[in-house]
Amino acid sequence: QDQQMAERILLCSIAEANCLFCTEEPSHISLFGAAARLNHSCAPNASYESTRSTILVRARSPIKEGEEVLISYLPEQLLDSSDRRERLRNG
């Protein structure tokens, strides 16, 4: 029983750390293997659009060869730092 619970917790932790919100259905998350490897930036050079089963990653600005592709894990409206700071302060 404890082993089964530990496995469930591990699975949920992996999903939570690697899933992205679906832009077309914000109440859902999906796991996209390649996109899960992208890192976060508050000034991303790429963005994504997704459904529950597909994802499209697009450059927001030119990305040089060898440069890391960065997305925001946050919704677009939270990228503005003043709004984000206010939300963090007020919970």
Distance, CA of 34 to CA of 11 (rounded, Å): 18
62-86 per-residue burial string, b: 16 or more CB within 10 A, e: under 16: eeeeeeeebbbeeeeeeeeeeeeee
Backbone angles phi, psi at 21, to 5 degrees: -70, 140
Distance, CA of 72 to CA of 45 (rounded, Å): 9
Name the residue type at position 1. Q
State pTM to two decimals. 0.72
Tens of pLDDT, residue by residue, the chain (91 residues): 899 999 999 999 988 889 998 889 888 989 998 998 999 998 899 999 999 999 999 999 999 999 999 998 877 766 666 766 776 677 6
Is the torsion defined by CA of 13, 15, 16, 18 positive or negative?
A: positive
